[in-house]
Structure 1
Amino acid sequence: MMRSRWWSFGFRSTIMLYFIVLIVLPIIGIYSQSLSLGWLPFWESITDPLAWKAVWLTLKLAILATVINVLLGTMIGWVLIRYRFPGRRLLNSLVDLPFALPTAVGGLMILLLLGPNSLVGGLAEKLGTEIVFHEPSIIIAMVFVTFPFVIRAVQPLLEELDKSEEEASYTLGASKAKTFFQVIFPSMLPGILSGAMLAFSRALAEFGAVVLVAGNIPGKTLIAAVYIFGEIESDNTQGAAAVSVLLLTLSFLILWAVNLVQSRRLGK
């Protein structure tokens, strides 16, 4: 009995130590580093024109990427659950590919497929549009690395959906569109919201895929993660930490919102 208690105590202590060393201490370190020189340098760092433009560009493009992911992810999740077709299992397994690939490899793929020397890139240039080293390539990179979130959040809800409610709606004379928006969509909404928030949070922090395709022009295509990396290379760790705190705080708020959505769903 005593041995079992000691084993349980040791296991809990190991988990708590792991949590403190790998999560709590780095977070405390970032916040303390950002304020190491006081509030005034912190404020000057986050209000620097280049820093603010990088953060604003990141927010704007992350929102656009999230909207695209919500639309595509909801449709793909629906098709994978509701339809049976050749290659469905392969397609379902490929959904998680962005999680398995190094993000730099994803950026290189985009560069090779959409760059100036590619077929798509060449056609875009003839039409007067440039993809790589401009905002469209950043959005594509963000969509690629966050692609699975909405799909994987929606699929379990569709699998758990009671078919009898849908059949009852059809029996009462409701159209397919009305049934979808009044019966199916409300059940999918918690998954769509939580998946969207996770995708948005992930897009905010993306570095590897974006740095290869963005061009990193200050004030135009320089996103926050690349700006932070540049500040570290310039030996301005306080400035890098200050901008990191903005993204970290926003990620905390998103995480809290995701937990709130999931708890309300479980409460039902």
Structure 2
Amino acid sequence: MSQRSRVLPGFGLSLGFTLAYLSLIVLIPLSAVFIKSLGVGWEGLWEILSSQRILKSLQLSFTTALIAALINVVFGLLLAWCLVRYTFPGKRIVDALVDLPFALPTAVAGIALTSLYASTGWIGQYLEPLGIKVAYTPLGITLALIFIGLPFVVRTVQPVLSDIETELEEAASALGANRFQIVRKIILPILFPALLTGFALAFARGVGEYGSVIFIAGNQPFKTEIAPLMIISRLEEYDYAAATTIAVIMLVISFVILLFINLLQAWASRRTGRTVK
């Protein structure tokens, strides 16, 4: 059997270059973080893990990132659906605005959201009399993470949705399926791997987000203090071992969650016969 020809020859060289580049950019820095965190020892690690302030900040970071990613999955799907399936005035403008959080500096986004939702802001001044306080609360953190995470879901789902042939829906409708059945049994199973990918990207971005959150959070210990801020605080105190230890804890938790999502995505891809790249 003849060997299949490839457009780019030299598999060994390509693989070696890829692994070397990956090691230099990702593996070596992460290994350095792990090695640096070992300097605190088991007692120091337990002291950090048992710190209520650090545990509260980790809980806040992961909880708000999870909630924001789930909200982005719902509204990102709706936005992608409108952009793909409908034609309306200003569609190109809306499509361009989706990528705005990518181009906008995160600090600018945080300042803008704070000025809008503070008690004297354009929106906050109307919400606060209703008992809804956004700025300097976990709600404000979640809102900031929704803002920066929405493009990940939209841009992941949009190309997959574009590839779904409308003939499938028309055929199902001709066979007697109603709209709910078409969405549940045809569209969602096909979009599920892409939705998982968008969720994972939005969640991962939200966990490590700092610039857009730091302004609207208020940074109140045990209330609105996020884990990345704890790392920055330890670095400013020259406590590099504690900073890297907190980073390792976040890294391990994020890796476990993302690994589970990848396994779930692989299972969904096998069921639907589609692969999200």
Superposed pair shares fold, TM > 0.5: yes
How do 1:41-190 residues align onto structure 2 when only pairs under 5 Å count? 41-190=44-193
Supply the distance in 2 between the matched residues of 1:34 and 1:255 (Cα, whole angstroms): 22
The CA deviation at 1:146 is 0.8
User: Per-residue displacement from partner, 1:155-211 (whole Å, max 9, x unpaired)?
Assistant: 122111132221111001111122111111111111111111211111110100111
Q: Residues 188 and 15 (structure 1 numbering): CA distance in 2 closer, same or farther, change over 3 Å?
A: closer
Query: What's the secondary structure of 2:40's corresponding residue?
Result: coil
Q: Any stretches of 5+ residues in structure 2 without a counterpart?
A: 1-8
* Alpha-carbon distance between aligned partners in 1 of 2:268 and 2:159, rounded to the nearest angstrom: 13
Task: Answer yes or no: is the 8 Å Cα contact 1:198–1:255 preserved in 2.
Answer: no
Describe the SS at the equivalent of 1:38: helix
The alpha-carbon deviation at position 15 of structure 1 amounts to 4.6
Distance 1:263 1:64, change over 3 A: closer
Give, in whole Å, the separation in 1 of the partners of 2:97 and 2:46.
44
Deviation at 1:14, TM superposition (A): 5.3
Native 8 Å contact 1:214 1:221 kept in 2: yes
How far has the Cα of 1:119 moved from its partner?
2.3
**Match in the other structure for 2:219:** 216
- The structure-2 alpha-carbon separation of the partners of 1:16 and 1:183, relative to structure 1 and needing over 3 Å to count, comes to closer
SS at match of 1:43: helix
Counterpart amino acid of 2:108? V
Instruction: Give the aligned partner of residue 37 of structure 1.
Output: 40
- Aligned equivalents of 2:161 and 2:96: distance in 1? 18
Give the aligned partner of residue 249 of structure 2: 246
Q: Contact 2:140–2:216 (CA<8 Å) still a contact in 1?
A: yes
Whether the 8 Å CA contact 2:196–2:265 is kept in 1: the answer is no
Counterpart of 2:236, as a letter, is: E
Q: Secondary structure at the match of 2:39?
A: coil
Is the contact between residue 192 and residue 268 of structure 2 (CA under 8 Å) also seen in structure 1? no
1:105 Cα deviation from its structure 2 partner: 1.0
Asked if 2 retains the 8 angstrom alpha-carbon contact of 1:134 and 1:221, the reply is: yes
Q: Hey, what's the Cα distance between the residues in 2 that align with 1:148 and 1:43?
A: 38
Among the aligned pairs, what percent are the same residue?
A: 35
Give me the whole-angstrom Cα distance separating, in 2, the residues matched to 1:93 and 1:62: 24
Q: Please report how far the alpha carbon of residue 254 of structure 1 lies from its aligned counterpart in structure 2 after TM superposition.
A: 4.0
RMSD (Å) for aligned C-alpha atoms: 2.1
